[in-house]
Amino acid sequence: MSLSRNKQLVRTGFKPPEPKPEVGRRKRKCAVCRESFEPRNMMHKVCKPECAVTHAEVIRKAQERKVDSARRTALKSRADHAREAQTAMNAWVRFRDRLDGCISCDKGPDWQGQWHASHFISVGACQTTRFDPSNLHKACSICNNHLSGNIRSYRPRLIAKIGQVEVDRLEGWHEPKKFSIEELKAIKAHYVAALKKLKEQLK
């Protein structure tokens, strides 16, 4: 803008806007030492070269762990995936039944021993009902391990819990089922998520 033009604007009472102060970059904490610093760009995550070396090493090890995990997963057998799915479901069953006592005896929920998830219809007897939530209930380790589920006492308590119709269904004929690895992975993911949801509902 010319000097004469400025003089004309001043005579009319016009005041040019003051220049805005420069705004510094938003500070962030170093990913390694947690000290505050001004990043050069969105990808700048560390404050000094020493931290950059450490950060690069952390990333390298994380990538190695990811590759190792993928390699181990690729080497897992169907039986390995079945055990992982069963472990995830057992944890969900124990938490679902956390307020219950043993399904097979008179031990109450305050019993201080080890709690298991006990199959009513055993895995050996029927693979199809292995992951049926009506077929697994919290039981003490004594009944589950040493008394093979203590089925004689398990059955009447199960009828009282889920009803005769449902018990008849479990005891009825089931088409033979062999779970695929993908199905076992899905079962594991389902019960991991279900357990997390149950716990979040109590917060």
- The pLDDT tens digits for 67-80 are 777 767 667 999 99
Residues 47 and 142 in one domain: no
12 within a domain of the structure (yes/no): no
pLDDT classification of 64: cutoffs 50, 70, 90: confident
Residues 56 and 115 in one domain: no
- Considering the domain architecture, whether residues 124 and 169 belong to the same structural domain is answered as yes
Which of 20, 50, 75 is the last residue in one of the domains? 75
Q: Domain check: are 125 and 37 in the same one?
A: no
- 115 and 146 co-located in one domain: yes
Q: Dihedral angle at the C-alpha atoms of 152, 157, 158, 159, nearest 10 degrees?
A: 100
pLDDT tens column, 7-50: 555 566 656 666 555 455 688 888 888 888 888 877 788 888 88
- Positive or negative CA dihedral for 60, 64, 69, 70? positive
Do residues 187 and 176 share a domain?
A: yes
Stronger pLDDT, 53 or 135, i.e. the higher one:
135
User: What sign results for the dihedral spanned by CA atoms 184, 197, 122, 118?
Assistant: positive
Nearest-angstrom CA–CA distance, 35 and 30: 5
Average pLDDT, the chain: 88
Residue 25 per-residue DSSP state: P
Closest CA to 187 of 136, 111, 125, 121: 136
This prediction's pTM: 0.66
Query: Are 55 and 69 in the same domain?
Result: yes
Kindly state whether residues 54 and 87 are assigned to the same domain: no
Going by the DSSP 8-state scheme, the letter that residue 135 receives in this structure is G
Same domain, 94 and 56: no
Residues 33 and 124 in one domain: no
Host domain of residue 185: 78-201
Same domain for 159 and 89: yes
* Helix 181-201, helix 78-96: angle, nearest 10: 20
Calpha distance 146→123 (Å, rounded): 16
